[in-house]
Amino acid sequence: MRKLICLTLAALLALSLVPALAEELTIAVVPKSLDNAIFLDSKTAAEEVGKELGIKIQWEGSMTSDAAQQVNVIESLIERQVNGILISCNDADALKDVIDRAVDAGIVVGIFDSDSPDSKRAFYCGTDNYAIGKLSAEYMMTFLPQGGKVAILTGVLGAPNLEMRITGFKETLAAANSPIEVLPVQTGHDDVQKSVEVVNQYTAANPDLAGWFFDGGWPYFADPDALTELAAFVEKGGKIVSIDTFHPMGQFIPLGMVDVLIGQDYFAMGRIGVETIYKLIKGEEVELGVTNEKVKNYIDTGYEVVTIDNYEEMWANKKPW
């Protein structure tokens, strides 16, 4: 009788531990920085998936886009022995070693938004950044068939996703023998106010500027009244192509302050990224494609194009923050 009771208690204890063990499964999501609003959709999606799967989602990162600080965050996650990490890399090379250490420690690591292709990460989930850079150049060539000077605004120099967009933009112009002259890249340090200052100052200092390519939409998170020089620029016929289609950016389309927005799906990055890491932790099969020899195990989340022609339809489905 004593043996039966002990076995019953043991069985009940084992059953009671099942939910607890499931709750202990933790996936950390590490954006480039916590002060960059573009990652909020990924956060929302990751947390929704976490609830659906019954796992813990930790949203962690440095306050600003800094590769060294991001390394520290990941090292902390390795010490805490989380089960998985989904990262948007500030710098591919700077993050490679710590990603490899995480994988060697038995943590499943996936990348979203900005890749570290030479690391041991399991997959990259995001936009084909070269492709949207190429598309941006094609639009710019349509707007400026006679050529002209075009400036580029980026976030942080060296960020893998942003560098690929710039490469796609420049190489497409070169391949087409376009008369467009690309000016030195300007950086806004992934900061809205700094980006507004850079755009206003550079536009004012270059009165013969014909176009801007924003490889991220930082200036369009500000109030339109803050972009005085940009407003004057488009009044004179200046053309602007920008990446991203977040809700705050929509107001600039009917104002004529941007000609084309090319949007990424950050919600899909967060959802697919967490789901894929979860499946890999559980030992399930996942479909991981390859786009070219430079990008292994790539999951393409696609993009959308918004102009004044489809603006109302597209923005009707956008959620305000």
Given this model, what pLDDT does residue 3 score? 36
Residue of 223 and 7 predicted with greater confidence: 223
Domain coverage including residue 115: 12-126+266-288
User: Is the model's pLDDT at 14 over the cut of 60?
Assistant: no
Whether residue 21 is found in the same domain as residue 168? no
The confidence band for 321, taking pLDDT boundaries of 50, 70 and 90, is low
Q: Give how far Cα 103 sits from Cα of 7, 27, 69, 192, Å.
A: 39, 13, 19, 34
Averaged pLDDT for residues 202-231: 97
Give the sheet arrangement for strand 298-300, strand by strand.
56-59, 26-30, 84-87, 108-112, 123-126, 298-300
In a domain, 321, yes or no: no
Whole-angstrom Cα distance, residue 174 to residue 105? 44
The confidence band for 202, taking pLDDT boundaries of 50, 70 and 90, is very high
Residue that is written with structure tokens 């009244």 in the block: 225
Whether residue 177 is found in the same domain as residue 164? yes
Whole-angstrom Cα distance, residue 80 to residue 62? 17
Whether residue 117 is found in the same domain as residue 156? no
0.85 cut: is pTM over it?
Answer: no
Whether residue 180 is found in the same domain as residue 195? yes
The confidence band for 288, taking pLDDT boundaries of 50, 70 and 90, is confident
User: Is the model's pLDDT at 213 over the cut of 80?
Assistant: yes
Whole-angstrom Cα distance, residue 55 to residue 53? 6
Q: What is the mean pLDDT of the chain?
A: 90
Find the CATH number of the domain harbouring 22.
Answer: 3.40.50.2300
- Side-chain-side CA neighbours of 93 within 13 Å: the count stands at 3
Given this model, what pLDDT does residue 4 score? 32
Task: Judge whether 27 and 86 are in contact, CB under 8 Å.
Answer: yes
Given this model, what pLDDT does residue 289 score? 66
Given this model, what pLDDT does residue 318 score? 73
In a domain, 298, yes or no: no
User: Is the model's pLDDT at 291 over the cut of 60?
Assistant: no
Q: How far is CA 229 from the centre of its chain?
A: 28
Number of domains making up the chain: 2
Both structure tokens of 229: 């020089």
Given this model, what pLDDT does residue 2 score? 35
Given this model, what pLDDT does residue 292 score? 53
In a domain, 222, yes or no: yes
Given this model, what pLDDT does residue 38 score? 86
Angle at 98 between CA 80 and CA 302, to 5 degrees: 100
In a domain, 19, yes or no: yes
* Lowest model confidence (mean pLDDT) among 54-68, 92-106, 306-320: 306-320
Residue of 154 and 311 predicted with greater confidence: 154
Q: Which of 20-29, 30-39, 96-105, 286-295 has maximum average pLDDT?
A: 96-105
Whether residue 99 is found in the same domain as residue 223? no
